[in-house]
Structure 1
Amino acid sequence: MGWGPMGWINRFITVPIFDWLDGYNLSYGIVILILTILLKGAMFPLTRKSYISMAKMRVLKPQLDEIKEKVGEDNPMLLQQEQMKLYKQVGVNPLGGCLPLLLQMPFTLAFFFFFPNLYELRGESFLWMKDLSTYDAPITFPSFLGINHISLMCVLMTLVTLLTTWYNNATSSSGVNNQMKYLGYIYAVVILLYVE
């Protein structure tokens, strides 16, 4: 079930909803899909708030650049004070995009703990996967760095993460430096290697 808040989320929210959906005799792949959609729907207000905050930061980008030109980057304390003054004037919280996403993490991690340990998924198939309790391995090869297969689901997850990161970086004009833009790509590859 997981530990701490993740265990409580699984025990009091995920398991009852899973059992209720299981009562309709649906494929477990469909049940997982519905649970994921319900999670995204429940988290939508937080996600929306995060996107609105990021949009406000994009709108402030020209004014932040003006402050940077006026003050200069050699005085980081004064630069930060001027930026905070602008944020207070406009009513924008620079962490407003991160905090809602941080509140979603326990729910996402709860799913991460719940599904791999679910006994009901053993031997159940969905689409091309023969067993939902383990990885799908259409491609196997001799072990390299402890990896001896490629899971299609993990590859699809990585591709979606990479495309989302690319889209966010392409549409974002916020003051994120170039090194921060690469974190999404690095995260996707690390998760692929970890899950594989």
Structure 2
Amino acid sequence: MSHIVIIHGSPTPGSRLNGLVEFVEGKWNEKGIKVSHVRVADLPAEALLHADFKNEEILAALALVESASGVVIASPVYKASFTGVLKAFLDLLPQTGLKGKATLPLFIGGTIAHLLSLDYALKPVLSVLGSRNILGGVYAIDAWVQRLEGGGFELSEELRDRLTNAAEELAEEITWIGIRSKENIQTP
């Protein structure tokens, strides 16, 4: 079965980033794709910062990433880059922790000026972690995600279209990863 893990890099539980994540997760749920979450800010801070590989919650989060064929890296942009809490988690992944996985970045920031943070801040880190299948990703501006009074989020039409395309692309990529891995198992 296809499996996507979403790594949330926001330190703020009510972040607008949740609107993006909930939208793409809904698309994958419609296709029957299993989706798991690693909310980095919910991991024990001391274990995260001290790279405590004996900590059960850290080990469980790393196991989720290892088991996935697709990984979403979701983060708000702070100071022209992804969050420090996300970097702390990515530092715990093995050197080839993303090898053979399709990776989809989802970023949100206050201005379009930080659009290139995907290419200049995140993609080099993903490449070092072994990801060779890094999808283009989606960068959103805060103004495109409105909080609803009763809870939830309303996304601009353009953002919904871009997220739909990105979700579909990741779904297709993990399907191909599954086919290739089955072919490799069957090849003597």
TM-score range, shorter chain: under 0.3
Larger radius of gyration between Structure 1 and Structure 2:
1
**TM-score of the two chains, using structure 1 as the length reference:** 0.23
**TM-score of the two chains, using structure 2 as the length reference:** 0.23
